[in-house]
């Protein structure tokens, strides 16, 4: 009997070991879904040291580790070391769903290109500065991928590390420049382009930017966009408005460091009410009538009217504090038509963002290909040709003005995707330009509901479970989508055309749920809905909520209260 018991125990132990081994790869894969590369440089050999940089990086590494990221921490690294570690990191990130790159240390821009500074850099000449430093564009190019979300945080530009002899005139400027990124990338700077960040403030062991990140990083259900609003406000307060963090995004879906818990009820947000407040009275009434027809009860409509009143008051307060400066607009620069298009080769890397700009605009940016390109006026025909305009190497350094424009004007060429030569040129610009228009096949109503819910969730508008049950929560999410797109719809029901439109969205649409005016004024108190008036024979008034605006006396009270709470700005 004793032998049989021991045999059973051994079999259980072996079975447990097998199950554990089977689970380990899955656990490892889950950890590898979110990766972070953290770099902090503070002890420099040739330029001024930074007190908090290494501590900031270490704190960020610990915070992201606590949130389930697999973190690689590098501190006080020399030039070649980053690229070696980057090779390993990129290989590990092949199957990751998101990657974070955080840098704390010296950085500079030269001729509009950003560089991060390793601790061994001497920066004795312009040429050595470029060769010694890490190109931010090269780092982003290696990290970003259409198959994952890439987030870049740069706590840099605390002081300009370049010697005055190297900086020269027109060679470099304070702060970092805007960057060109591909789809699925988010970049956050400690301060706006061209600005200088603060290394520390009294009472904090971290920089203002990193301290604010650490404060809000672990908030449950806060999107990256909403988090950056809070970070921006905290940094402005800590630096007495001398430093304003800045970000740019091409994310295709909303990102959360801590995803929101599954919610059973979805409400319109502060941002939604602010957008409703900005509609014309006619459009707002149309929207409110549509909500009433779509199943929103009287309590929800009354709450919406009250919240809209708060948003209106906040918008008026903000408008009163804005100082409008007289701006003399320069006459628009005419477009220079296309040069010899064979100069654009398929192997040249020209991103779509290099092209997407206002028609009639010329941009001189980093040499990503053999030409700098701009978009001319779009053709109205159904073939949708792509017109390019560029300067060749002989004319790149000639300023464009009324005198030179005529001799720079060259014959253009229309690119059509119906032949191999033009398709190769278009593919060199961006392969996405050759993607076929989204065609949505007919599907059963339940499947259509789930598909629309899934796409609304991807673009940040839907917070509930994707279950195919099209109710008030789904209609609320669709309302948020239409408001963000500044569209007044005629229905809040899912359609195949709507699904096709959502599938074609390349960026997050419902980026934030907080109202910008509420952030600026600090007025977020919810106004109590007006009490219903009992109908009597002598009193024909029912609720006071007819029309699209609250009673004037209530609005005046809101404005007076809001002004009293905000003081002067």
Q: 283-338 pLDDT, tens per residue?
A: 999 999 999 999 899 999 999 999 999 999 988 888 876 544 334 444 444 444 44
CA 353 to chain centre: 14
| ∠ CA 63-192-332, rounded to 5° | 145
Tokens of 480: 């948020």
**pTM for the complete prediction?**
0.59
pLDDT at 520: 75
What does residue 135 show for φ and ψ, rounded to 5 degrees? -70, 120
Q: How far is CA 98 from its chain centroid?
A: 14
Alpha-carbon distance of 458 to 280, in angstroms, equals: 29
The pair of structure tokens assigned to 313 is 């008051």
Q: Are residues 427 and 481 in contact, defined by beta-carbon separation less than 8 angstroms? A: no
Residue ranges of the chain whose pLDDT lies below 70: 1-32, 158-160, 163-175, 199-200, 321-420, 423, 426-442, 445, 524-569
Q: How many CA atoms lie within 13 A of 8 on its CB side?
A: 5
User: What does the alpha-carbon distance between residue 504 and residue 485 come to, in Å, rounded to a whole number?
Assistant: 14
Judge contact between 104 and 59, C-beta under 8 A: no
Tokens of 145: 């991928």
CA-to-CA separations, 473 to 217, 267, 523, in angstroms, rounded: 27, 7, 26
The owner of tokens 């109908």 is 535
Handedness of CA 417, 421, 425, 431 (dihedral sign): positive
Q: How far is Cα 70 from Cα 158, in angstroms, rounded to an integer?
A: 28
Q: How far apart are CA 112 and CA 536, in angstroms?
A: 72
Mean pLDDT of the chain: 74
* Measured distance CA(470)–CA(55) in Å, rounded: 49
Q: So what's the pLDDT on residue 148?
A: 92
Q: Which residues pair with 110 in a beta bridge?
A: 113, 172
**In the prediction, which pLDDT does 400 show?**
53
Q: Quote the strand ranges of 8-51, DSSP E.
A: 34-40
Q: How far is CA 95 from the centre of its chain?
A: 22
Domains of the chain (ranges, CATH numbers): 35-249 (3.40.50.1460), 282-322+516-566 (no CATH), 341-434 (no CATH), 445-503 (no CATH)
Residue 2 is inside which H or E element, if any?
Answer: helix 2-31
CA angle 477, 479, 484 (to 5 degrees): 100
pLDDT, residue 96, reads 94
Give the span between the Cα atoms of 475 and 292, in whole angstroms: 11
Q: What is the pLDDT of residue 364?
A: 36
Q: Please name which of 301, 298, 310, 300 lies closest in space to residue 274, comparing C-alpha atoms.
A: 310
In 185-323, which ranges are E strands? Answer: 185-189, 246-249
User: Bridge partners of 249?
Assistant: 186
Please tell me the total number of residues recorded for the chain in this structure: 569
Ordered strands of the 70-75 beta sheet: 70-75, 34-40, 98-104, 149-155, 185-189, 246-249
* Predicted pLDDT at 403: 54
For β-strands 185-189 and 134-135, DSSP reports them as unpaired
Only one residue has tokens 């970049």, namely: 187
**Integer-rounded Cα radius of gyration of the chain:** 28
354: its two tokens: 């290099």
Cα–Cα dist 539/157, whole Å: 67
Provide the token pair at 562.
């809001």
pLDDT in tens, 366-396: 434 444 444 444 444 444 444 444 444 444 4
| 366 three-state secondary structure | coil
Pairing of strands 386-391, 98-104: unpaired
């Amino acid at each position: 009997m004793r032998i049989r018991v021991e045999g059973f125990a051994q079999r259980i132990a072996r079975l447990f070991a097998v199950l554990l081994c089977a689970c380990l790869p899955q656990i490892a894969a889950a950890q590898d879904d979110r990766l972070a590369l953290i770099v902090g440089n503070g002890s420099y050999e040739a330029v001024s040291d930074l007190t908090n940089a290494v501590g900031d990086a270490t704190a960020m590494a610990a915070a992201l580790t606590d949130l389930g990221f697999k973190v690689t921490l590098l501190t006080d690294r020399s030039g070649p070391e980053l690229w070696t570690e980057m090779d390993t990191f990129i290989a590990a990130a092949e199957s990751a769903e998101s990657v974070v790159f955080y840098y704390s240390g010296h950085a500079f821009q030269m001729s509009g290109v950003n560089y991060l500074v390793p601790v061994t850099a001497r920066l004795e000449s312009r040429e050595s500065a470029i060769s010694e430093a890490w190109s931010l564009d090269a780092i982003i190019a290696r990290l970003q991928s259409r198959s994952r979300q890439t987030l870049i945080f740069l706590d840099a530009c605390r002081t300009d590390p370049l010697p005055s002899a190297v900086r020269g005139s027109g060679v470099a400027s304070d702060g970092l420049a805007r960057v060109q990124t591909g789809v699925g990338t988010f970049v956050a700077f400690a301060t706006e382009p061209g600005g200088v960040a603060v290394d520390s403030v009294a009472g904090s062991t971290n920089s203002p930017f990193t301290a604010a990140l650490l404060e809000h990083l672990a908030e449950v259900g806060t999107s990256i966009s909403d988090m950056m609003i809070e970070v921006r406000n905290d940094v402005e307060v800590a630096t007495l408005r001398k430093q304003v963090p800045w970000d740019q995004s091409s994310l295709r879906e909303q990102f959360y460091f801590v995803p929101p818990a599954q919610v059973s009820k979805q409400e319109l947000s502060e941002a939604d009410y602010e957008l409703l407040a900005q509609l014309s009275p006619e459009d707002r009434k149309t929207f409110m009538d549509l909500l009433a027809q779509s199943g929103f009860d009287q309590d929800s409509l009354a709450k919406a009217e009250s919240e809209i009143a708060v948003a209106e008051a906040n918008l008026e307060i903000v408008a009163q504090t804005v100082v409008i400066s007289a701006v003399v607009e320069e006459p628009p620069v005419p477009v220079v038509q296309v040069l010899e298009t064979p100069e654009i080769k398929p192997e040249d890397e020209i991103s779509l963002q290099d092209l997407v700009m206002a028609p009639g605009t010329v941009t001189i940016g980093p040499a990503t290909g053999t030409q700098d390109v701009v978009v001319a006026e779009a053709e109205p025909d159904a073939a949708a040709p792509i017109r390019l305009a560029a300067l060749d190497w002989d004319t790149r350094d000639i300023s464009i003005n009324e005198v030179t424009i005529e001799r720079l004007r060259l014959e253009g060429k229309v690119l059509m995707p119906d032949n191999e030569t033009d398709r190769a040129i278009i593919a060199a610009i961006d392969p996405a330009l050759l993607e076929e228009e989204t065609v949505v096949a007919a599907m059963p109503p339940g499947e259509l509901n789930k598909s629309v819910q899934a796409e609304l969730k991807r673009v940040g508008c839907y917070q509930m479970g994707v279950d195919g049950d099209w109710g008030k929560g789904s209609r609320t999410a669709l309302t948020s989508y239409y408001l963000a797109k500044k569209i007044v719809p005629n229905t809040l029901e899912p359609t195949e055309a709507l699904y096709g439109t959502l599938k074609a969205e390349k960026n997050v649409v419902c980026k934030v749920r907080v109202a910008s005016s509420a952030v600026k004024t600090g007025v977020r108190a919810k106004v109590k809905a007006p009490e219903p008036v009992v109908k009597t024979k002598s009193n024909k008034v029912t609720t006071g909520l007819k029309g699209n605006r609250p009673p004037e006396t209530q609005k005046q009270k809101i404005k007076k209260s809001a002004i009293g709470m905000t003081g002067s700005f």
